[in-house]
Chains A and B, each alone.
Chain A
């Protein structure tokens, strides 16, 4: 039973271990750097950066424990992540009282979607949210009989499902992909590649933007998104992707393209979430992660990069 749930082959896999070591190396470097800056230049206000780094430590630990040792736990953990993100977005979007039951149905689609990923039924997995739920949700709303504002409710629930369930559930499906002969890292390797690149891209765009940022891309949506940050992140992420390409079964050119695509999709996800927050007049979606804001503020890019990278690799390698 125990061995069925937990797998420890990650300790025999040098590819995975080296990337995990790289993650903690970067975190240690960042922590030491901010500690040193705090000592040398006490008047610089870097408390936000410090709390961000602390949160990164916690998130990295949780992610690695949740995804590297047990497939079963991974599905549950990613499903829970979807659930929390869904709840966060539902709570700020402002629904009518009569939408409760449709929302409840939407909540129940989370375990179903992840179960479909778990059993590896690709056809059902790929249509469950964007076809079946998209048709069922309006029906549930109509049955309630409250038509005033129903279009907004329909489309908002659809969009929540897309952003927080459908996109993220692709992370779980990596673990259900069949084995490719000669490629040992499997779904875990691909998942680590995706999440590491997405998050490092977020960090790099943030860093380049802070240091060199001058020309704003879309000032009406986010004053922090600059061309310098975007391009700096794009180039660096593509280079990093090349160096950790051993996690994937792709050729050099394909890996460069995939990394570029992850950087671009991550930026898009960030931008779309920013526009939603701008529309609602909130800065963060909640205060769940110190220094970062809400869960959604952290994983907004993942809900774009996960399906993009998944379908790229699904077409090429499977």
Chain B
């Protein structure tokens, strides 16, 4: 049931809205259908980012892809947390260290989703930054990828989302935005720092190609 609701929301309603009104130019992402399991890693400027990536996915795999969202925001109460889990299909991550409820590493929820076979959408910058400026990437996903070498990562760069709906604003002012997919890559190194440098370079390469 959730699968069809997600398909209807993202592949149909939001895709049309983002394309016609917001002005997002989607990239072809049909190659993701062939990938077993992957983590989409992208720059992050706007709440539209997650929605746009979800809407750009092939509808047949949309229910298998979970965006990693901030638990302190998308799970601030039971209702919002249910909403995020059902309609965004989100994995809720505690950003500010380990809370009292969830014992162990904050990465545990990500590893659990990976073990269950889900693909992920993750913003390694950690939070929405200034448009067109990238912050230093958090190492967490590098650690997870180094332990799960069968999971590929897919670099994505998005341009213009922060102009459409910047941090702290509630109204969308349409602006032509673009979303660009890189090719899926496997992690070789065991060092999470090295992995993150590689990921950052991949995203910046996409940025250079796009502009």
Contacts and interface: CB of A to CB of B under 8 A. Distances in A.
A100 B169 contact: yes
B169 A88 contact: no
A103 B160 CA distance: 15
B108 interface: no
B166 A87 contact: no
Contacts of A103: 173
A215 to B, nearest CB: 35
A40 interface: no
Contacts of A104: 171, 173
Chain A: interface size category = 10 to 19
B118 interface: no
Given A97-B166, A100-B169, A91 B175 contact: yes
Interface in A281-314: 286-287
B182 interface: no
Contacts of A100: 166, 169, 171, 173
A87 B169 contact: no
B173 A91 contact: no
B175 A90 contact: yes
A107 interface: yes
Majority secondary structure, B binding face: loop
B176 A91 contact: yes
Contact of B25 (A84, A97, A107, A287): A287
A287 B159 CA distance: 15
B174 interface: yes
A107 B173 CA distance: 8
Nearest to A90: B175
Contacts of B25: 286-287
Contacts of B176: 87-88, 91-92, 286
A131 B160 CA distance: 31
B7 to A, nearest CB: 26
Interface string B62-74: 0000000000000
A300 B45 CA distance: 32
B175 A87 contact: yes
B79 to A, nearest CB: 30
A167 to B, nearest CB: 20
B23 interface: yes
A90 B160 CA distance: 12
A103 B169 CA distance: 14
Interface in B1-24: 20, 23
A286 B160 CA distance: 13
A107 B166 contact: no
B128 to A, nearest CB: 14
Interface of B: 20, 23, 25, 160, 163, 166, 169, 171, 173-176
Given A107-B174, A287-B25, 20 more contacts: A80-B20, A83-B174, A84-B23, A87-B23, A87-B174, A87-B175, A88-B23, A88-B176, A90-B174, A91-B23, A91-B160, A91-B175, A91-B176, A97-B166, A100-B166, A100-B171, A104-B171, A107-B173, A286-B25, A286-B176
Closest 7 CB pairs of A and B: A91-B176, A87-B174, A100-B173, A87-B23, A104-B173, A91-B175, A103-B173
21 contacts: A80-B20, A83-B174, A84-B23, A87-B23, A87-B174, A87-B175, A88-B23, A88-B176, A90-B174, A91-B160, A91-B163, A91-B175, A92-B176, A97-B166, A100-B166, A100-B173, A103-B173, A104-B171, A104-B173, A107-B173, A286-B176
